[in-house]
Amino acid sequence: MAGAQQNANEPLADLTGIGALNGAIASTAERRALYLKLFSGEMFKGFQNNTIARDLIMKRTLRGGKSLQFIYTGRTKAEYHVPGRSILGNEDKAPPVAEKTITCDDLLISSAFVYELDEVLSHYDLRSEISRKIGYALAEKYDRLIFRAIAKGARQASPVSMSGYQEPGGTQVQVGSGSGALSDAYSATNLINAFYDAAAAMDEKGVSTDGRVGVLNPRQYYALIQEVGSNGLINRDETGTALQSGQGVVSIAGIKIYKSMNIPFLGRYGTKYDGTTGVTAPSNTGDFVSVALEDASGAQTGINNDYGLAAEVGSTSCGLIFQKEAAGMLEAIGPQVQVTSGDVSVIYQGDVMLGRLACGCDYLNPAAAVELHVTSTAPSAF
pLDDT tens-digit map of 15-63: 566 667 677 767 766 666 666 555 667 677 778 777 899 889 999 898 8
In a domain, 187, yes or no: yes
Residue 303 in domain = yes
Its pTM stands at 0.82
Place 257 in a pLDDT band, splitting at 50, 70 and 90. Answer: very high
- The predicted-structure confidence for 270-286, as pLDDT tens digits, reads as follows 888 775 555 666 776 66
Provide the pLDDT for residue 3: 47
Tell me which residue of 380, 308, 366, 370 sits closest to 98, measured CA to CA: 366
Torsion of CA 305, 310, 311, 317, to 10 degrees: 100
Sheet containing 264-265, strands listed edge to edge, beginning at the edge strand earlier in sequence: 264-265, 268-270, 290-292
Task: Tell me, rounded to whole angstroms, the distance of Cα 250 from its chain centroid.
Answer: 20
258 pLDDT higher than 50? yes
* Residue 2: pLDDT band with limits 50, 70, 90: very low
Q: Is 187 left (phi over 0), alpha (psi -120 to 50) or beta?
A: beta
Is 41 inside a domain boundary? yes
The answer to whether 146 touches 53, Cβ cutoff 8 Å, is: yes
Tell me, yes or no, whether 143 lies in a domain: yes
Highest mean pLDDT among 7-16, 82-91, 167-176, 270-279: 167-176
Considering the chain, what percentage of its residues have pLDDT values greater than 70? 78
What's the Cα-to-Cα distance from 136 to each of 148, 218, 255, rounded to whole Å? 18, 18, 27
Q: Say if 106 falls within a structural domain.
A: yes
| Predicted local distance difference test score (pLDDT) of residue 217 | 92
318 belongs to a structural domain: yes
Query: Region 209-226: what's the mean pLDDT?
Result: 90
pLDDT tens per residue across span 233-255: 555 555 555 555 555 567 889 99
Give the pLDDT score at 328. Answer: 93
Q: pLDDT tens across 98-114, in order?
A: 788 999 999 999 999 98
Residue 32 lies in a domain: no
Band (198; pLDDT cuts 50, 70, 90):
very high
Cα dihedral 5, 8, 11, 13 in deg (nearest 10): 60
Residue 20: inside a domain: no
Task: Please report which helix (H) or strand (E) contains residue 112, including its range.
Answer: strand 108-115
pLDDT at res. 297: 94
CATH classification of the domain holding 175: 3.30.2400.10
Please state the domain count of the chain: 1
Q: How many CA atoms lie within 13 A of 175 on its CB side?
A: 30
Supply the pLDDT for residue 248.
58
Domain that holds residue 97: 37-76+90-373
Contact 51, 139 (CB under 8 A): yes
Peptide bond into 95 cis (omega under 30): yes
